[in-house]
């Protein structure tokens, strides 16, 4: 093996064959005589040992692994049951009513908010950060779910405030504006409650909105004029009665 040599005069570095170990010879650059060190005198620089080792010198520390997204078996079961029950109820509402009563729609919006916010957080939270758990997670998800469900109440309020007698009277422009407001409120709610970044919070609310909107369409709820089947009957008969008395 070659030996690394540093000239004490000009500080130039070079290697020589190990057969010259301990012998004197001229530096190839400055020509001054120097002694080639023995192999046991050669300085070897090693990286420092980091970590805790056992009595045999083997590291007992394991490298950190990136936590990957994974739903628990309980979350998968709850999501599957929730999906089947929600779809069944939507089909029942479509078949059993000319148009689902307002209280069934409100019940669906509230009932789906917590489980969808819970599963959505498991899916969209940053894997590099520690996930909320236990009571703190339940509290945060509860607040987020409440905000999510309020967005549909906000949609109804805006439709009524703009002079629509039924949701089926909401035109295309109003529909788009109302949805933008819903997404702003829902995304900000997810940002505040779950401390996601903006993109994750937007996806978090989008998941809730997509599921509830799809189920509403299956159930036959007249959300707006573009989504209406032409049925002029209000989705909220109690509201219509209140309007007539004014």
Q: Compute mean pLDDT per 10 residues along the chain, 246 residues long, and list them.
A: 79 79 83 78 55 60 51 72 80 81 85 89 80 89 95 93 90 94 96 91 94 90 76 45 45
Give the other-Cβ count within 10 Å of 4's Cβ: 13
Cα 215–Cα 155–Cα 153 angle in degrees, nearest 5:
80
Residue 56: inside a domain: no
Cα 167–Cα 168–Cα 173 angle in degrees, nearest 5:
85
pLDDT at position 241 is 46
What lies within 8 Å, CB to CB, of 42 at 6+ separation is: 3, 4
Claim to verify: residue 81 and residue 131 sit in the same structural domain: yes
pLDDT at position 238 is 44
Report the predicted TM-score, pTM, of the whole model to 2 decimal places: 0.63
Secondary structure class of 222 (helix, strand, coil): coil
Residue 212: inside a domain: yes
> What residues form DSSP beta bridges with 44?
none
Secondary structure class of 68 (helix, strand, coil): coil
User: Which structural domain range is residue 202 located in?
Assistant: 73-244
Residue 46: inside a domain: no
How far, CA to CA in Å, does 245 sit from each of 106, 239, 240?
A: 23, 10, 9
Domain count, the chain: 2
């Amino acid at each position: 093996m070659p030996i690394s040599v540093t000239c004490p005069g000009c500080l130039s570095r070079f290697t020589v064959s190990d057969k010259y170990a301990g012998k004197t010879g001229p530096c190839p650059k400055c020509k001054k005589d120097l002694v080639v060190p023995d192999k046991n005198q050669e300085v070897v620089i090693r990286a420092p040992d980091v970590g805790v080792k056992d009595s045999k010198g083997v590291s007992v520390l394991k490298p950190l692994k990136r936590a990957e997204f994974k739903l628990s078996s309980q979350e998968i079961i709850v999501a599957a049951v929730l999906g089947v029950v929600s779809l069944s109820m939507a089909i029942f509402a479509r078949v059993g009513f000319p148009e689902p009563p307002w209280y069934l729609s409100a019940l669906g919006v509230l009932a789906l908010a917590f489980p969808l916010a819970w599963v959505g957080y498991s899916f969209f939270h940053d894997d590099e950060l520690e996930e909320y758990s236990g009571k703190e997670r339940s509290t945060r998800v509860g607040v987020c779910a409440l905000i999510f469900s309020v967005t549909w109440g906000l949609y109804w309020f805006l439709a009524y405030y703009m002079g629509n007698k039924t949701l089926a009277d909401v035109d295309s422009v109003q529909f788009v504006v109302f949805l933008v407001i819903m997404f702003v409120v829902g995304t900000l709610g997810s940002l505040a409650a779950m401390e996601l970044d903006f993109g994750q919070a937007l996806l978090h609310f989008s998941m809730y909105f997509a599921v509830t909107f799809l189920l509403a369409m299956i159930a036959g709820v007249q959300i707006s004029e573009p989504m209406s089947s032409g049925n002029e009957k209000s989705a909220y008969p109690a509201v219509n009665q209140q309007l007539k008395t004014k």
